[in-house]
Amino acid sequence: MNKILLWSLMIVTTLWPAGIIEASAKKSAQKKPAATASSKTTGAVKPDYGISRVPYVGAIVVEATTGQVLFEENADAKVYPASTLKLMDLLIILEKVQKGQLKLTDKVTVSAEAAKMGGSQVWLEKGETFTLDEMLYALMVQSANDAAVALAEHVAGSKQEFVNLMNQRARELGMKATVFRSVHGLPPDAKAGQQPDETTPRDMTLLCRELLKHKDALRYTSTREREFRKEPKLLMRNHNKLLETVAGCDGLKTGYFQRAGFSIAATAARNGRRVIAVVMGARASNERIARLRGVAEANCLDVKTAELINRAFATLAANPPKPTTASPLPAAVNPAGPSTTAAKPEPPAAPAPKKAEQQKQVPWIWIGVVAFCGLAAAVIGVRMVTRK
């Protein structure tokens, strides 16, 4: 009995510490993953690129006059327009100028609200005055947010009233998926409960087509550089680099903030035809940004947009418009009257006289045939009579 108790005591004293060690090992093993996870959270935080994609969220190219779609990819995707919405600012103001409600020579006074705007700007100061024309150059060339606010207050009395005008015009144009919430396109203040402006590439083409009906629009959008003020001197430079690299490009507007990505509404004219290309939500705009963000240069906004514009013109060249008899173009080109060049298409009708001559010659041929047959019949008849 004593031996049994002794052996039991030895077994217990041997296995009990082993059990404690095993339990301790299990606990430490369970803690290790938590420690690893916590170490990961201390690493570098990746930038929030929001809705932007490689090469872009959505794109569309149309013929400016007819609206014919030459290319589209995710053209109805919801995007943030950023500063491209300033095209609506320009449209509303040019329409009011056309109606005589505003003049380009009108003086616009800068308010405190406008002067404190951040982002891209021309550093307006409270109480400064500039003509409406100069403010529009600041809006389109420099993409100045302070100019956008100053113009909105001058035209509608307040930013919110101008936003109301923007949304009303958008509905009239059929921009069904568009909601404007600002006059400048800056990112919203999430802490204040603000929401971003929203649109689609397809909706933006409707805006661009309408804007191009105003001859002054391209005067602003095609300007590469312009001096805004002499003291302190400020030279504005257009953000649209396609003005320098794409043949025939003369507009329209770029836009960017980090969560929206890079966007552009571009237009170009070649050989009497014009196209509009809207590309939105790109991760990178140019080669420099592409390198920084690990994006292939071929997938940056400027390269893709140029590619789409060139492809669109190739499509139009392969399918020229059919001529119409009611076209007013000849009268517009030469209002003094028809030219010798315009008369050159007539020669194809030249073969007509020969046909008329042939028609006149037909009766004489048949008369000759009939006469010959009659004479032959007469000769045969005479011979038969003489034989009898």
Q: Over its length of 388 residues, how does the chain's per-residue pLDDT go in tens digits?
A: 444 444 444 444 444 444 443 444 444 444 444 443 433 444 567 788 999 999 999 999 999 999 999 999 999 999 999 999 999 999 999 999 999 999 999 999 999 999 999 999 999 999 999 999 999 999 999 999 999 999 999 999 999 999 999 999 999 999 999 999 999 999 998 888 899 999 999 999 999 999 999 999 999 999 999 999 888 889 999 999 999 999 999 999 999 999 999 999 999 999 999 999 999 999 998 888 888 888 898 899 999 999 999 999 999 999 887 765 433 333 333 333 333 333 333 334 344 444 444 444 444 455 555 555 555 555 455 454 444 4
Query: Looking at residue 344, what is its pLDDT?
Result: 36
Query: Looking at residue 43, what is its pLDDT?
Result: 58
Radius of gyration of the chain (CA): 39
The pair phi, psi for residue 169, each rounded to 5°, is -70, -35
All residues at 6 or more sequence positions from 273 whose CB lies less than 8 Å from its CB, including other chains: 63, 313, 316
Query: Cα–Cα distance between 112 and 134 in angstroms, integer?
Result: 19
The answer to whether the CB of 209 falls within 8 A of the CB of 276 is yes
Q: Read off the pTM.
A: 0.72
Count of CB atoms situated within 10 Å of the CB of 351:
9
Q: Is 179 exposed, middle or buried (0-12, 13-18, 19+ CB in 10 A)?
A: middle
Query: Looking at residue 386, what is its pLDDT?
Result: 41
| CATH number of the domain where residue 130 is located | 3.40.710.10
Query: Cα–Cα distance between 166 and 262 in angstroms, integer?
Result: 22
Query: Looking at residue 245, what is its pLDDT?
Result: 96
Q: Supply the residues annotated as catalytic.
A: 83, 86, 143
Let me know if residue 341 belongs to a domain.
Answer: no
- Total domains in the chain come to 1
Query: Cα–Cα distance between 71 and 202 in angstroms, integer?
Result: 11
Let me know if residue 53 belongs to a domain.
Answer: no
Query: For residue 69, what are the domain limits?
Result: 58-319
Buried b / exposed e over 86-125, threshold 16 CB at 10 Å, is bbbbbbbbbbbbeeeebeeeeebebbeebbebebbbbebe
One-letter identity of residue 220: Y
